[in-house]
Structure formats: C-alpha cells, structure tokens
Amino acid sequence: MPRPESTGAAPHRSSIDLFSDAVLADPYPHYRKLRETSSAVYLTKCDAWALTQYADVRRALSDWRVFSSTDGIALSRVTNAATDKSPLAVDPPAHRHPRRVLQGHLSPMSVHDQAIGIQRRAKELVAHLAKQERFDAMRDLAAPFALSTLADHMGLPADSRDFLIDWADAAFDIMGPDNERTRIARAHLGKLGVYLLNTTIVERLSTTGAGRAIYAAGTRGDITPEACTQLVAISLLASIPTTTASIGNAVSLFARHPDQWECLRRDPRLVENAVEEILRLESPIQWFSRVLRERCDIGDVSVPAGARVLLLFGAANRDPNTWGDPDTFDITRTNPVDHLAFGHGLHSCMGQGLARAEIAAVLTALVAHVERWHVREARRKLNNVIRGLDSLPVTINASVDPGRLAPPRRPDVDTAADVTNWQVAGAVRLAKLRRHIELPSGATFSGSVDIVNGAMTGSFDLLPLAIEMRILGIGVRIASELIPTGSFDGDAIVTPDGKIKLSATSRAVMHIRSIAIDRLQIPLKCRTATPIEMPLEASGMMRLDFRPEFLGIMAIPRFTGNGPIAWLATMLVSGSGNAFHITLELPGQPTGDRHQVGAHGPRQPRP
C-alpha cells in the first residue's frame, strides 16, 4: 500500500489498535481522539487511513468511482480474496443486477406488507417475557426475534436456524485485520459454510420466501445461478447480527436513561425517532473500508491512490460538527435520521427498512408492557465490526395497564401525524420548462410527518406519469413509470401561522417507457429500472384539515442516478423556483367545495 503523504501538513499517524479488546469494548474515546487529530489519520496497526468526520465519511460513501469496493471492503487480504465478486465487493455495472433482485423484497412497500406480521410476532414475544419479569434481553428477546423474522422472510427451514447467529457473527469478524480474532472466526466460518450452502439450496426454501424468489431471478437470467446462494447468504448474515445488536442496544440505552423511557411511554409516536437515535448513537456496523482509485484530498491530508480507507460509521455518527451533544441519548433529537448506520449511497444497506420495522415493533410492544427497567451485569460481545451485547439480564416492572398508549393528538395543533394511504392530488410547475406537471390520480402516500420534532419519512406509490412539452418549438412527450418503491425522508419545520419549510430526499426506481418527438414514436423496452435520488428544498404554506394542503416553491438541486434517465431528468427538472400545490386526501372523509381539487389537479399555481 502507498505510504502516507500530505500537502501542507505533516502526515498524521496513530498507533491506536481499533481491534484490540479494550478499544472494541469502548471505541468512542479513541474515535474522538482520531477525529481531533486530523480529517484523515493513518493507522499503523492495520495499514489503513481512518475517516472519522461525518462529512468525509458521507462523501466517501457517495463516490464509488473514487472510493471503490472492488478490492473488497474488509481489512484482511484473505477475506477480500475469498469474497471477490460478491455484491458487497463490486461497483457498477456488476453491482446493479443483484441489488435490483433484492430491491423487490426489501422495498418500502414490501416492508409495509410485512409490518403486521412483524408487529404481531413482537407483541406475542414481549407479552410472554413480561409475565416472567426477568429475562435476558439478548438471548430471550433480541436474538430469537431477529432470527425468526429474517429466517421466515427468506423462507429458511425451521430445522436449520440455530447455527445462523454464530455464523453471522463470524462472517463479520473475518472482515477485521489478520489478527487472532479474525483467524479464529475464519476457521469457525469454514465449518459452518458447508452447512449453510446445503441449507439454502432452493429445494429447502419456502415457496413464499424471498430466498426462493432470488433463485427464480437466477432462472430468468437476471443474475447468474451461482450468485443466488450468495445473495441468500448475504441477506441473512447482514441482517441478523445487526438487528439483534440494535434491539439489545435499544434496551440497554433505555435502561440506562429512564428519563428517555418515560418520554417514550408518554408519547409512543416517538418510536420511529427513537429507532434512528439508537442507530446513530450505537451504530450496529462500526465500519467498512474502501480503496482509493485516485489521490484524494481529505481536509489537509492528501491520501494516495491505492490506499485503503477505513470509514468509521460509529465515529461519524457522533461527530459534534453534525450533532449537538453527540454522545447524549435524546429520542427527541430533530435530525437522527441523517446517521450513517446503514451506510449511504450506492452501497447503502438494502435491508434497512426491514431492520427499522423490526426494532420499532419491539419497542412498541415493550412500551405497552414495561414500566421500568432494572439491568443486571451486561456482557459485551467483542466483534471486529458489529457493536452489540452478548448478554443483557434485565428485571422489569410490568405495566399495570399493558396495552394502553398515549391518546392521539388533534391534527390542528402541534402534532406528530401518522399519514397512511392518502391520495395525492395537485400539480408542480417546473420553472425550467415553464410547464405544469400534474400528479397522477390514484397516487398514494404512507409515512409520518412529525411537526413537533421536525421529522418526515415515508413511502409513495405513483402511477404512470406522462410529460408533454415543447423544446425549441418541437413537441416532446415522455411516458415514464415510477415503480412503487419510492421513499423519502427529511425535515419539516412548521410555524404556528402555517408557514412550512421542507428539506428532504426522495428516492425511487423508474424507467422511461417511450419518447415521442412530434410524430416520431420511440418505444423503450427496458428490462431493468433505474434508481433515482432527488433532493429538494421547499417553502410555502400548509393548512391542516381532512385534506392537508401544501402551497409554495421548491428547489430540486440535482437528480442522482445511473444512465440516460438520470441525465434526462436532471436536464429537464432540476432547478429552483418550481411552484407546487399539493393536497393529501384521506379516502372516506368528507371534502367541501373549498378544498375540492379536480381529477387533473388544481388550477395552475403562480410561479
């Protein structure tokens, strides 16, 4: 590996061993020391550069062309050689096909469909444990819940699950440097690997699980048949230990911060915010690595091409430049969703929606049954990548009124409003095109807008959308399809007089079906869809009623995505001064003439 060099400053080195037992037990003081040393610090113990600041880690995750995964994401050369060509260790175009196969089973809409079953499973398990009043939050709650949920999701047979937790832990341990822990895990994993391959063959998987669907994709030719078993294995190993760790971290944090538990019990609608704060403060995956394809300036340090860079998620998520009091557990924090616990960009965790749903389901069930926590001696599980506990014995004071939740708030006052399956009507006037784009009738929106704490998150389902315009006097019509995997998250600030300011990012998968230029019709037969990410800033007025209305101006800085679709969308749509008038209509509620919006949207708003 190229040795450290710098421009204008002496190279910053550190002899901190991030993978020693002492540091793994409590890494945060060491992260702080590295962060205060420099933007990039060369770690002599593992021959890699450490990035600890939020902005730098997020930038690296966003730029796969410079910070590449193709040389592996582990610190062990042996591990990187063994995982060569796996979905975790490839960049586009090879990365796209396996990710698209997984996307259909882990999309927001797919997770939404599974939510009822996940919540029922959590309620049953928590109700059983609450009657005992003493249990191990790791062995009796977190591990069995995560294991059963993920194994059922993949369709794994019931007689082949017990080994999965140890196998998944070992799969993360082998990603560390070539130390004793890594070598022990590699030997352990080799024995379990044969069993895993035999367990996840298509004949043993349930016909209704995601695992069988992955093999069907191989039969269709969407991915190679050899990649099918690998995808099933990766889905299990990436999900089980991270979800297990996060549920255990949640119990531990609330037990050590009873004021936050009381806050959640008073208002259970803070569950989603609490999930994000837990993930931020105790990131289940502490790091992944990349290799630089070209020299890169990071702060005052020039890191050479070919260098391996350690992206410390656990450190970035406690960067004081991004969060006030970053080491404080605060479930009312306004921006915890900005964390990097699930990565960011192209290689962000595909299963993060399912993980969030599981953690939220467990917390919701616990709120209904647990009044107070008492923790006995906890034991940490030391792993090269995963931060979690091995054992967390607890005693609880069971709620005298299990199942009782806080009363709902009225929507016309400061509120955290859950919004589910609302119809969307309205229009956006694109300043760049001087055109009026109507939202398709029948579009739906599900999610939540927390007006007290300023958070918004959810998913949307838009039907096919047609755009007509004239460019240099030539009529152009584009027929596109927005596949129902759209999602968004961001911040919402609403003042008492109804002024609203939104900052959000929406994500979707789309492809253009046809382009007509005057009389020339060009059909586009796309086998695959294109991921699109669109940030936006909006301000205007909001009125809460049976049909909340939003009226204002938004800026779309730039689409990001792959191929000509993203390029075309950027050319046509991005810009500022885009007027919007959107109504969310709750089906079944009466609507007066004052709020009526036609099937083709309202009258054109003024730009």
pLDDT band (50, 70, 90) for residue 1: low
pLDDT at 563 over 80: no
pLDDT in tens, 41-55: 999 999 999 999 999
Res 502: pLDDT: 78
Cα–Cα dist 358/365, whole Å: 11
- The per-residue pLDDT for 49 is 97
Indicate the average pLDDT of the chain: 78
Q: How far is residue 274's CA from residue 255's CA, in Å, rounded to a whole number? A: 14
Least confident interval from 156-170, 309-323, 553-567: 553-567
Under the banding of pLDDT at 50, 70 and 90, the label for residue 394 is very high
Compute the radius of gyration of the chain from its Cα atoms.
Answer: 25
pLDDT in tens, 50-73: 999 999 999 999 898 999 999 999
* pLDDT exceeds cutoff 60 at 587: no
Residue-wise pLDDT for 448-480, tens only, equals 666 555 677 776 665 555 656 565 566 666 665
What percentage of residues in the chain have a pLDDT greater than 90? 38
CA-CA distance, 184 to 173, in Å (whole number)? 9
Task: Give the pLDDT band of residue 219 (cuts 50, 70, 90).
Answer: confident
> What is the reported pLDDT for 398?
78
DSSP state of 326: T
> What DSSP letter does each residue of 200-260 carry, written as one string?
TSGGGS-TTSHHHHHHHHHHHTSS-HHHHHHHHHHHHHHHHHHHHHHHHHHHHHHHH-HHH
Task: Count other Cβ atoms within 10 Å, centred on residue 140.
Answer: 18
Q: pLDDT at residue 495 above 90?
A: no
Angle (nearest 5°) at CA 206 between 201 and 212: 55
Lowest-pLDDT choice from 201-215, 500-514, 526-540: 526-540
Q: What is the mean pLDDT of residues 34-45?
A: 94
**Is it the case that residue 285 has pLDDT exceeding 90?**
yes
In 340-473, beta strands by DSSP E: 370-375, 379-381, 388-391, 393-398, 416-430, 435-438, 443-450, 455-461, 465-471
Q: Does the global pTM surpass 0.75?
A: no
Average of pLDDT values for 432-453? Answer: 64
- In angstroms, the CA 570 to CA 561 distance is 9
Q: Give the containing element (helix H, strand E) for 265.
A: helix 258-266
φ, ψ of residue 286 in degrees (nearest 5): -85, -25
Answer yes or no: is pLDDT of 366 > 60.
Answer: yes
Q: What are the backbone angles phi and psi of residue 222, rounded to the nearest 5°?
A: -65, -35
- Continuous segment of H or E residues that includes residue 128: helix 108-132
Picking from 558, 554, 521, 549, the residue whose alpha carbon sits closest to that of residue 538 is 554
- The token duo for 42 is 């060369």
Span 23-37, mean pLDDT? 96
Question: Which among 402, 366, 159, 420 has a CA at the least distance from the CA of 247?
Answer: 366
As a whole number of angstroms, the distance between CA 270 and CA 450 comes to: 9
How would residue 521 be classed by pLDDT, with cut points 50, 70 and 90?
low
Q: Are 243 and 214 in contact (CB under 8 A)?
A: no
What residues contact 424, with CB distance under 8 A and at least 6 apart?
A: 439, 443, 444, 445, 460, 462, 582, 583, 584, 585
209 pLDDT higher than 70: yes
- Residue 88 is predicted with a pLDDT of 81
The three-class DSSP label of residue 294 is: coil
* pLDDT for the residue numbered 24: 97
Q: What is the mean pLDDT of residues 3-22?
A: 74
Per-residue pLDDT for 415 more than 80? no
Q: How confident is the model at residue 124 (pLDDT cuts 50, 70, 90)?
A: very high
Look at 500 and 283; give whichever has higher pLDDT. 283
452-468 as b/e, with b when 16 or more CB fall inside 10 Å?
A: bbbbbbbbbbbeebebe
Residue with tokens 């107070």: 372
Specify the higher pLDDT residue, 510 or 5: 510
> In degrees to the nearest 10, what's the CA dihedral of 507, 512, 517, 519?
-140
**Are the CB atoms for 80 and 72 separated by under 8 Å?**
yes
Q: How far apart are the first and last CA of the chain?
A: 55
Whose structure tokens read 């699980």? 209
Mind listing the pLDDT tens digit for each residue in 484-493? 456 777 777 7
Question: Comparing 29-38, 95-104, 470-479, 587-596, which segment has the lowest mean pLDDT?
Answer: 587-596
Q: pLDDT: is 404 or 84 the higher one?
A: 84
Give mean pLDDT, residues 575-586: 74
296 burial (CB, 10 Å; 0-12 / 13-18 / 19+) is buried
Closest CA to 455 of 502, 419, 499, 423: 502
From 138-152, 303-317, 531-545, the region with the lowest mean pLDDT: 531-545
Q: Is the pLDDT of residue 503 over 70?
A: yes
Which residues does 573 contact at the CB level (< 8 Å), separation at least 6? 430, 432, 433, 534, 556, 559
Stretch among 69-73, 377-381, 432-436 having the lowest mean pLDDT: 432-436
Peptide bond into 93 cis (omega under 30): yes
pLDDT band for position 497 (cuts 50, 70, 90): low
**Looking at residues 108-136, what average pLDDT do you find?**
87
Question: Which runs of consecutive H residues, i.e. helices, occur in 48-107?
Answer: 54-62, 77-82, 96-106
pLDDT > 70 in the chain, percent? 69
**What is the rounded distance in angstroms from the CA atom of residue 169 to the CA atom of residue 174?**
9
- The pLDDT value recorded for residue 339 is 92
Q: Which amino acid is at 583?
A: T
